[in-house]
Amino acid sequence: MSDDSASIDWSPTSAQKIGAAVGFTIGALAWSQDDVPLAVRVLFPIVYAIACAVIPRMRGIVRYRRAAQFGAHQVAMGAIAAGWLLADRLPSAAVNGAWFVSAGGWWLLTGVVTRRRSM
């Protein structure tokens, strides 16, 4: 694999397409739960699809500083955690919030390490 980000084909991979389909399905399962607010039910299939589509490429996205893709993932994860909070599902909110924080930490730490290596 080349270290040049410009030489990488960043179009969606099969794994990302499958991840989006799985994410959509996970989000659609919220429709079967009566205690989940309607706004959350509508939002979940979209944000889960976005978050799950990014995950198979997360290492490359962080390594090559693909800010738009990482930002989309973080917005989706924040919406997922907030949705579970609105539905009063604290364990689900905690799990998704933990990944949101972990991914953000990964992004920041990689940026610091990369900057120090280039000095």
The pLDDT tens digits for 77-96 are: 999 999 999 999 999 999 99
Question: Using one digit for the tens of pLDDT, what is the confidence trace for 26-64?
Answer: 999 988 888 899 999 999 999 999 999 999 999 999 999
Rounded to whole angstroms, the Cα distance separating 53 from 15 reads: 8
Rounded (10°) CA dihedral 113, 114, 118, 119: -30
* C-alpha to C-alpha distance for 92 and 74, rounded to whole angstroms: 16
**Interatomic CA distance for residues 84 and 90, integer angstroms:** 7
Q: Count the neighbouring beta carbons within 10 Å of the beta carbon of residue 73.
A: 27
**Structure confidence at residue 117 as a pLDDT band (50, 70, 90):** confident
- The mean pLDDT value for 1-27 works out to 83
- Backbone Cα Rg of the chain: 16
Q: Which amino acid is at 73?
A: H
Instruction: Pick the more confident residue, 7 or 64.
Output: 64
Share of residues in the chain with pLDDT > 70 (%): 95
Please name the residues in contact with 106: beta carbons below 8 A apart, sequence gap of 6 or more. Answer: 62
| Contact of 76 with 104, CB cutoff 8 Å | no
pTM: 0.87
Query: Helix, strand or coil for residue 63?
Result: helix
CB 81 within 8 A of CB 100: yes
Tell whether the model's pLDDT for residue 76 goes beyond 60.
yes
